[in-house]
């Protein structure tokens, strides 16, 4: 069935570690979009609900239609209560009746097959890294990489390894985005959010473009 062409600007951040407000100006101007994705580590082992309450209030100030959040290994509340964003806990959402985004919070390394990721996902969001620029890391999820290679989403968004911030394309066509906002040195400003344009044409063909 043919349909009207659509596109979305997807903006990705991760590992803000309670410094999320430093991104406010950029997310309201140069790095704005339709869908905001936060790939975990909202806090820095912050206890109680206060760090999440401030984060939720911050979300309410951002001009995104959709705000999708997962948890990281530094987040003490497994499923925080958010009024201004949607927390994805091993679930897929469908945006505008088409764009399918799956999100899963941190899982202990090596303990999951990740077989629950739906095969029709356009975007997969995890805190666990499926791949590293350096080829190896103690927290790499080999099983996650295998599952992604099977289902071939347009985009894999993750964080956790701050030094791996950036984008690269695998041989199978998947675009991998380590969206870690926290810089390699705490004295530096946060890394820029990563922006993508995802399009679908009237023949249901999808494409993705990294926006500088």
- How many structural domains compose the chain? 1
Q: Is residue 133 part of a domain?
A: yes
Residue 151: in which H helix or E strand, if any? helix 142-151
DSSP one-letter code for 193: P
CA distance 38 to 146: 23
In-domain check, residue 1: no
In a domain, 62, yes or no: yes
pLDDT tens for the 212 residues of the chain, in order: 346 899 999 999 999 999 999 999 999 999 999 999 999 999 987 666 888 999 999 999 999 999 999 999 988 776 778 999 999 999 999 999 999 999 999 999 999 999 999 999 999 999 999 999 877 788 999 999 999 999 999 999 999 999 999 999 887 899 999 999 999 887 899 999 999 999 999 888 999 999 98
Q: Does residue 175 lie within any of the structural domains?
A: yes
Looking up residue 149, the CATH number of its domain turns out to be 3.60.21.10
Q: Domain for residue 56, yes or no?
A: yes
Beta-ladder partners of 13: 38
Record the tokens describing residue 103, joined without a space: 């999100």
pTM for this entry: 0.95
Q: Rounded CA gap, 118 and 102, in Å?
A: 7
- Structural tokens at position 7: 């596109």
| Those residues with Cβ within 8 angstroms of residue 30's Cβ, 6 or more apart along the chain or in another chain | none
Is residue 122 helix, strand or coil?
Answer: coil
Note whether residue 193 is domain-resident.
yes
Angle among Cα 159, 162, 165 to the nearest 5 degrees reads 75
The rounded distance, in Å, linking the Cα atoms of 178 and 158 is 5
Report if residue 106 sits inside a domain: yes
Structural domain including 89 reads 6-211
Whether 137 contacts 158, CB under 8 Å: no
Q: Is residue 36 part of a domain?
A: yes
Measured distance between the N- and C-terminal CA atoms of the chain, rounded to whole angstroms: 33
């Amino acid at each position: 069935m043919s349909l009207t062409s659509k596109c979305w600007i997807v903006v990705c951040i991760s590992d803000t570690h309670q410094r999320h407000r430093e991104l406010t100006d950029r997310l309201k101007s140069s790095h704005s979009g339709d869908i905001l994705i936060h790939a975990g580590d909202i806090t820095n082992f912050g206890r109680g609900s206060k760090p999440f309450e401030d984060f939720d209030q911050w979300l309410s100030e951002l001009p995104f239609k959709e705000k999708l959040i997962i948890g990281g290994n530094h987040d003490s509340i497994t499923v925080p209560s958010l009024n201004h964003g949607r927390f994805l806990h091993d679930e897929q959402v469908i945006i505008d009746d088409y764009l399918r985004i799956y999100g899963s919070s941190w899982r202990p390394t090596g303990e999951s097959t990740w077989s629950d990721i739906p095969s029709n996902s356009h975007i997969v969001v995890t805190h666990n890294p499926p791949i590293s620029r350096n080829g190896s890391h103690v927290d790499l999820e080999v099983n996650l990489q295998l599952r992604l290679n099977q289902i071939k989403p347009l985009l894999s968004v993750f964080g956790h390894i701050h030094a791996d911030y950036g984008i690269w394309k695998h041989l199978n066509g998947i675009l991998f985005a380590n969206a870690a906002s926290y810089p390699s040195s705490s004295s530096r400003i946060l890394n820029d959010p990563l922006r993508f344009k995802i399009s679908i044409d009237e023949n249901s063909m999808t494409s993705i473009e990294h926006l500088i």
